[in-house]
Amino acid sequence: MTDAKTVKPLYDTYNRAALRFERGDGIWLVTEDGERYLDFAAGIAVNSLGHSHPHLVETLKAQAEKLWHVSNIYQVPGQEKLAQRLIDNTFADKVFFTNSGAEALECAIKTARRYHYANGHPERFHIITFEGAFHGRTIATIAAGGQAKYLEGFGPKAPGFDQVPFGDEAALRAAITPETAAILLEPVQGEGGLRAFPDDFLRLVRRLCDENGLLLIFDEVQSGVGRTGRFFAHEWAGVTPDIMAIAKGIGGGFPLGACLATAEAAKGMVAGTHGSTYGGNPLAMAVGNAVLDVVLEEGFLDNVNAVALVFKQGLASIIDRYPNVVSEVRGRGLLIGLKCVVPNTSLVQALYDEHVLCVGAGDNVVRLLPPLITTPEEAREGLKRIEAAVERLAIANPTSKTA
C-alpha cells in the first residue's frame, strides 16, 4: 500500500540529477545556491541560442503584452511569416505547427498515410524505420521508434511500423512491400547514440523512395535548425525529403514544433483532417520567428562550424590520451557524441562534477549539445573541463580495456 506522506508529487518517470537551476545566462546555468554550470545539454538541443538571449527575451515580452493565444479557426499572421521563412530556406511548400517533436512526427505520419489514401491506396500505410531510432513518446511514435524499453507495458504496438537494422541496404529493400507508404529516419540519430547515416545511404534511400513511390520523411527534431552546421542536417548529403518533422531548436526553449512537406506530399491533408489547439499560437510564432532572425543571419552557421571544429579537434586529442575512457567522437557539427569505454553514466557524473552539463544516449554514448552561440573560447573552456573529467576516470580505471 502506498503511504500518502511518502508519495512524491511528480510522476516517477525521470531519474533526475540533484540539480536545481534558477536562472540561465548565455551558455551558463546557475543553481539555487549560485553554482554555475556550463550548459552543454542545452535542454536536449532546445536552447539553441542559450539562455536569456536578449532578442528572444525582448520578443517574448513584447508579444506577451499584445496577444498570447488565438485559435487556429482564425488566421495567424505569425504562422504565415514563420512558415514562409521555413519554406524559403528548405525543400518544403507547406507547414503545420505543433507544440512538440512527437506531435510534429504524428503530423508527418498522418501526412504520409493520407497521401496514399488520397491516391486511392489506403492499404499503403506502413512506414519503415531504423533500429536505434527515437521519434517521441506517443503511442504511434514509440511504435515508430521500435525500442522495446519504450513499448513495454503499453499494450499492442501500433500497427504499420516496420523496423530494419541501421544502414542495412538489403534489409531495407526487403522491407519494401505494396503496403509501404514511407521511410522515416533521423539523418543523425540522437537518442540512439549520435549515429549519422552516411551521405551515400541517404542518397540510396531517396532513390528507393522514388523508384517505389514512397515518401521520404526526415525527423530533424534534434538535428535541425543549425545544430549540425547547416540549416538542416540532410543538406550535407544533398538530398531532400518529402516530409520533415522539426522542433527543439526552432523554439529556443518555447515549446514549438512543425511538420514541413512538399505540396504533393501534403495533398491529402485537407480541411478537417488534422488540428491542434495550441499549435502555432502567436506567442510561439513570435519566438520562432525571433530564433530564425538569429539563425538565418549571415555568418551564424559559419560560427557553428568553426566551434564544432574546435570541439572535434579537442575531443580527438582527449581520446588519443585517454583511450581507456573514451574511444570515438560521433555526430556532426554541435550534435556531438562521445563513445565511452567506461559506462557513459560515469562520464556524465564526472562531467557534472566539473560543472559541465551533458546528456546520456544509447550505445554507451555521452551527448554534448552546446548552444549554437557558443564561442571558440567557451568551447576551449568546456574542453578543459571535459579533459579533467576524463582524466579523473582514467585514474579511477587504470586497467579498463578498450572495447
Ligand X SMILES: *Cc1c(COP(=O)(O)O)cnc(C)c1O
Q: Please give the annotated binding residues for N(2)-acetyl-L-ornithine, written as ranges.
A: 137, 276
Query: Given the complex with ligand X, which of 249 and 314 has the nearer CB atom?
Result: 249
Measured CA to CA, the distance from residue 141 to residue 105 in angstroms comes to 7
Query: Given the complex with ligand X, which of 107 and 389 has the nearer CB atom?
Result: 107
Concatenating the DSSP letter of every residue in 52-116 gives S-HHHHHHHHHHHTT-----TTS--HHHHHHHHHHHHTSS-SEEEEESSHHHHHHHHHHHHHHHH
Measured CA to CA, the distance from residue 262 to residue 399 in angstroms comes to 55
Query: Given the complex with ligand X, which of 56 and 105 has the nearer CB atom?
Result: 105
Least spacing, CB of residue 227 vs ligand X, in Å? 10
Alpha-carbon distances, residue 39 vs 43, 331, 351, 371 (angstroms)? 8, 18, 11, 8
Query: Given the complex with ligand X, which of 187 and 314 has the nearer CB atom?
Result: 187
Query: Given the complex with ligand X, which of 136 and 146 has the nearer CB atom?
Result: 136
Residue with the three cell numbers 542518397? 203
CB-nearest residue to ligand X: 101
Crossing angle between the packed helical segments 77-88 and 282-295, to the nearest 10 degrees: 30
Measured CA to CA, the distance from residue 315 to residue 324 in angstroms comes to 14
- Using CB under 6 A as the criterion, which residues of the chain lie in contact with ligand X when the complex forms? 100-102, 105, 134-136, 186, 190, 219, 221-222, 247-248
Quick one: cell of 149?
524499453
Least spacing, CB of residue 220 vs ligand X, in Å? 7
Least spacing, CB of residue 382 vs ligand X, in Å? 22
Q: Binding site residues for pyridoxal 5'-phosphate, as ranges? A: 101-102, 134, 219-222, 277
265: left (phi over 0), alpha (psi -120 to 50) or beta: alpha
Least spacing, CB of residue 264 vs ligand X, in Å? 24
Least spacing, CB of residue 322 vs ligand X, in Å? 28
